[in-house]
Homo-oligomer: A and B are copies of this chain.
C-alpha cells in the first residue's frame, strides 16, 4: 500500500493547476443563523466536470509517463470519477473506458461520452462492477485509476482542502461527505500535515452508513448495493482510505434520506447553487448536531453539482 505524502499533494497541485478550477468559497448569512455556526462552503460543484473528482483524476492522468498513457486509462465509478477521468484523459488525448452501473443518471453517462470516453455498463452492485471491470482492463491493458483507493487520486483530492485553508482562515473543523472516502482521505492528508488542530468530520447517508459502522467497529465493513438518493456515496471504504479515516477523522455523522433532501433543497433555495444530494449530507448532519458545530468556523465541502434536473428528489 502506497500512502501519499504532503509532498505528493504539493506536486499534484502544481500538476493539475492548468486543468482544474480554484473553486470559490461561498457563505450564507441565513444558514449561519440557522446552524449557529459560521459555514464556509467550498464549491466543487463549480469544478471542471462538475465535481472535486477532476482533481484526483487529473493528477493521475497527467502523472502517467507516455508509455503508460498510450494504453489509456479505465475505471469503475458511480458517476463523477468516471466523468472526471474522461475529462482528464480527453485533455491529455488518451483513451478512457468507464464501467458504470446501468442505473446511474443518464446525464452522467452522456457526459462521459461527451468527453470522448467509452461507457461499459454493469449491474448496480459492487460485485458486478468489479467483475465487469476486470474484464475491461484485461482486454484493453488500460491503467486502472481507482475512484479513491489510489495514492495519486487522494493526493489530487487533497488539493481541495489546501485551497480551503487559504480561502477561509481560522477554521475549527472541516466536514465532507463520505462514500469510498477519497475526499475525506485527501482532507485528512492535508489537514494532518499543515493544520493538525482542525477537526475532520465525515457525513454519510444513514441508508449507506458502512463508513460510520466501520469507524465504530475499528475495521472496514462493506455493504453491497445500498440504496440512497446520495448516489455518489454508495461505495465502501478500502484499505488506503481506511488508513486516513481511522487515523484522522474525529467523528462520522449520518442523515436520513429526507434530511438529505431537505438540506439539498435548502441550499438550492438559499445559496442559489445547483449541487448533488451527496453534497447536502454535511449540512443535513450539521443541522442534526448543532451542539457539535455551533460557535465554530466550519469548512463544508460541496463535492459536486451533477444532478439530473429532470428528476429532482423533492418533486
Contact = CB atoms under 8 A, between A and B. Distances in A.
Interface of A: 24, 26, 45-46, 50, 107, 265, 268-269, 271-275, 305, 309-310, 312, 314-315
A269 B315 CA distance: 17
| A-B pairs with lowest CB-CB distance, top 5 | A272-B305, A272-B274, A45-B272, A268-B274, A46-B272
Nearest to A47: B272
From A45, A274, A305, A310, residue with most partner B Cβ within 10 Å: A274
Given A24-B24, A268-B274, A273-B273, A310 B305 contact: no
From A26, A271, A273, A314, residue with most partner B Cβ within 10 Å: A273
A309 B274 contact: no
> What is the count of identical protomers in the complex?
2
Contact of A272 (B50, B310, B315): B50
A273 B272 contact: yes
Contact of A314 (B107, B269, B310): B310
Contact of A265 (B305, B309, B314): B309
A139 B274 CA distance: 43
5 contacts: A50-B272, A269-B274, A273-B274, A309-B314, A310-B314
Contacts of A275: 272
A45 to B, nearest CB: 5
Contacts of A274: 268-269, 272-274
A92 B265 CA distance: 30
From A265, A275, A305, residue with most partner B Cβ within 10 Å: A305
A25 B309 CA distance: 23
A9 to B, nearest CB: 26
Given A24-B24, A315-B315, A309 B272 contact: no
A315 B309 CA distance: 9
A114 to B, nearest CB: 10
Contacts of A273: 272-274
A179 to B, nearest CB: 20
Contacts of A312: 309, 312, 315
A315 B310 contact: yes
Nearest to A24: B24
A268 B305 CA distance: 10
A267 to B, nearest CB: 9
A15 to B, nearest CB: 20
B269 A309 contact: yes
B268 A309 contact: yes
Given A46-B272, A310-B315, 19 more contacts: A24-B24, A26-B46, A45-B272, A46-B271, A50-B272, A107-B269, A265-B309, A268-B274, A268-B309, A272-B275, A272-B305, A273-B274, A274-B274, A309-B312, A309-B314, A310-B314, A312-B312, A312-B315, A315-B315
